[in-house]
Structure formats: C-alpha cells, structure tokens
C-alpha cells in the first residue's frame, strides 16, 4: 500500500470521541464527496429552494474506500443511522468532488453510501449546516459553516475528513508533497486558513479546473500528520526524514569540505600572483626580511595551508602571523599596481 493509503487507513480508524468533532468531520466528507441527487428524473432541485418532496437521495461517493467506511462509522455513531457501503463501477466522467486522474478506458471502482429516508437526510444535512431549520439547502461545495469548526478539535476533524476525501501525499522516501484537491477556490482557502491557525503554511495552485492546496516541506507535512492525529504515520514519516536528513548532512559536509579546499586554492593563487608581481616590479631584495622569507616560502609551497607555512619560517610563526605577513605582501602588491597602473 502507498504511504498515502496507509495514512488514510489510519485516519479511517481515528474516530473523535466528541459529537461536535464527529459532525465536523462528517460535514467535511459531505462537502467533498456528498451530493443530493434526484431519486426520480422529474425532480428538479435548485439551490435555496425547499425540496418539494424528499424525492431525493443523499449520495456520498468516493474512489477511496477508507473515506466511505469512515462516513459509515460517523453516521452510525452520530445519528445511529445504519447504512451500507456499495461498491460500483463508474465511468470516467466522475462527479467533480473526486481527484482528477489519467483517463483510462477501464472503468473506475468507486464506493458510495446512499441515504434515501427523508428524515435521515434532513437530520444529517441540518447537523452539518447544509440545510437550515426551515429546510432551505446550502451549496455543499461552499465552505463548511464556521460554526462547525470553531474549536481546534473540530478543525482537526475537518482536516481529517478533507484529507480522507480528497487528499494524497507522496512516499516520503521519494519526495515531500501533500495535497488536497478542491473543486473551488473558497474550499481551498478554507483549508489554507485552518492550516494557518495551526501555524502550518500551505500554498494553493490551480490545476485545470481544480484548486489544489499543497505543501512541499517536511516540517509542514509532519505538522499536518500531527494535526489530523495520524500518529503512527507521523512516526513512519519522521523515520524517513531522519534517514534523509542524515544523508543530506553527509552530503552537506562533503560539499562544505570541497568549498573550503576551493577557498584555499583561490586565496593561494591570488597570493602567488601578488608575490610574483612584487618579485618582478618591486624586487624581493627591497622587502623587509620577514616578508621576503614569507614570499619565498609561499612560492615554494603554493598549496600549503597557513599553519604549515608558519612552520617553515625561521623562527616558526603561528597561523595569524602568517596571515598578517601575507596580507602585508598583498597590500604592497596593490600599491605597486596602483602606482604603475596595472590591473589585477
């Protein structure tokens, strides 16, 4: 199973104890996967219009079984509604709540729950605030009522439902990427805002007709798994991260050492240039004794580090003494250059 699938399996089993959280998660699932469908063809429902009769059914459908199983559990726990999960084959032209996918000629397997009892539909939609007390309907794709996600516990539940319904993440052994595909920008922004309240920054990108909330940093994804309470997945994810970090730190150290060697070579090349210029345009015999000896030693050992150069001097001097003399030589070379109009 993919890492993403494992996270969903874990989230399916993670059922909040409080009723407010259960309703928040259910509202999230309805928001992404739910739709009211005409039971008969003649029944034409318009938004904001009281359904003439409840000749409608509430369908919750997804390609991922975990979210539908979770929905089943929540309906049972919250409303004591007993339903069944149906498996079906659907065409490619799926309803927009589902993730876009590569077109294949094969028919896609999907799972759904159908509520047909008008009393139950009303009960569920009203609790999830998709229907008001008068029975007026709200667009299920519009942001979930703020009333339902006031508490951080309910926000966690909402995000859990969102990831189960429409989220995915890449295998952390390969790359860091977590996303939730939304059918509209308002939906995406609601998720982004909730994440921000947990101090997690996510971005939104438009992909064809979808708005995708995503994050690509290990810390953000780790925080997300923590927020939705996928603790087992979080541990697995962190293990991947540790291995990756160690590998990176070894690479960083190697790069760093290479860079330092480069620095030494560059500096010694410049010093050699300066000294050769002094030799030619100024004369070693005109240098004070300390500098003359330093110049000769530098030319004799072009690649030696400063500490080593100091040991060749008589009497030996420390690294800072060597540095001081080399700087003096360079200043002198710069003076000669400016006097004689020579460019480096």
- Residue ranges that bind Zn ion, judged by CB under 5 A: 18, 20-21, 151, 153-154
Token duo for residue 223: 């925080």
Smallest distance, Å, CB 184 to Zn ion?
25
Smallest distance, Å, CB 153 to Zn ion?
3
| Cβ distance to Zn ion smaller for residue 195 or 329 | 195
Alpha helices in 204-302 (DSSP H): 218-227, 231-281, 289-300
Which candidate, 15, 3, 25, 32, places its Cα nearest to that of 168? 3
Distance CA 175, CA 237 (A): 11
Distance CA 12, CA 62 (A): 14
**Helix, strand, coil % (nearest 5) of the chain?**
55, 15, 30
Smallest distance, Å, CB 154 to Zn ion?
4
Residue 112 CA, chain-centre distance (Å), reads: 30
Q: Which secondary-structure segment (H or E) carries 26? A: helix 19-33
| Cβ distance to Zn ion smaller for residue 153 or 304 | 153
Smallest distance, Å, CB 159 to Zn ion?
12
Smallest distance, Å, CB 251 to Zn ion?
44
Smallest distance, Å, CB 74 to Zn ion?
13
| Cβ distance to Zn ion smaller for residue 25 or 179 | 25
Distance CA 167, CA 4 (A): 8
Residue pointed to by tokens 């909402």: 158
For residues 66 and 7, the answer to whether their CB atoms sit within 8 Å is no
Q: What is the DSSP string of 13-75?
A: H---SSHHHHHHHHHHHHHHHEEEEESSTT----TTS--SSS-EEEEEEES-HHHHHHHHHHH
Smallest distance, Å, CB 38 to Zn ion?
34
212 - beta bridge partners? 181, 205
| Cβ distance to Zn ion smaller for residue 19 or 109 | 19
| Cβ distance to Zn ion smaller for residue 21 or 202 | 21
The Cα angle at residue 301 between residues 290 and 312, in degrees rounded to 5: 45
Smallest distance, Å, CB 21 to Zn ion?
3
| Cβ distance to Zn ion smaller for residue 16 or 225 | 16
| Cβ distance to Zn ion smaller for residue 17 or 102 | 17
| Cβ distance to Zn ion smaller for residue 60 or 149 | 149
């Amino acid at each position: 199973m993919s890492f993403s699938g494992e996270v969903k399996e874990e989230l399916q089993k993670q059922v909040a104890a409080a009723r407010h959280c259960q309703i928040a998660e259910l509202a999230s699932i309805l928001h992404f996967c739910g739709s009211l469908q005409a039971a008969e063809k003649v029944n034409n429902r318009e938004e904001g219009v009281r359904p003439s009769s409840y000749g409608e059914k509430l369908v919750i459908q997804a390609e991922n079984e975990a979210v539908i199983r979770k929905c089943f559990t929540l309906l049972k726990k919250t409303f004591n509604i007993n339903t069944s999960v149906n498996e079906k084959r659907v065409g490619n032209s799926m309803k927009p709540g589902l993730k876009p996918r590569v077109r294949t000629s094969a028919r896609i397997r999907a799972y759904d729950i159908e509520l047909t009892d008008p009393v139950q539909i009303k009960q569920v939609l009203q609790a999830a605030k998709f229907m008001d007390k008068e029975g007026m309907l709200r667009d299920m794709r519009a942001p979930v009522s703020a009333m339902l996600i006031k508490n951080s516990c309910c926000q966690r539940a909402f995000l859990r439902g969102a990831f189960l319904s429409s989220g995915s993440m890449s295998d952390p052994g390969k790359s860091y990427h977590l996303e939730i595909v939304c059918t509209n920008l308002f939906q995406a922004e609601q998720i982004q805002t909730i994440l921000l309240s947990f101090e997690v920054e996510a971005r939104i990108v438009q992909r064809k007709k979808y708005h995708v909330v995503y994050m690509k940093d290990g810390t953000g994804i780790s925080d997300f798994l923590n927020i939705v309470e996928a603790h087992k997945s979080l541990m697995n994810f962190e293990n991947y991260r540790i291995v990756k970090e160690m590998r990176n730190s070894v690479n960083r150290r190697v790069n760093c050492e290479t860079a330092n060697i480069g620095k030494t070579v560059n500096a010694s090349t410049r010093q050699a240039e300066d000294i050769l210029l002094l030799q030619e345009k100024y004369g070693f015999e005109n240098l004070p004794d300390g500098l003359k000896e330093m110049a000769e030693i530098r030319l004799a050992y072009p690649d030696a580090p400063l500490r080593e150069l100091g040991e060749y001097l008589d009497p030996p001097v420390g690294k800072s003494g060597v540095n001081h003399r080399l700087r003096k030589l360079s200043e002198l070379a710069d003076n000669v250059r400016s006097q004689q109009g020579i460019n480096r």
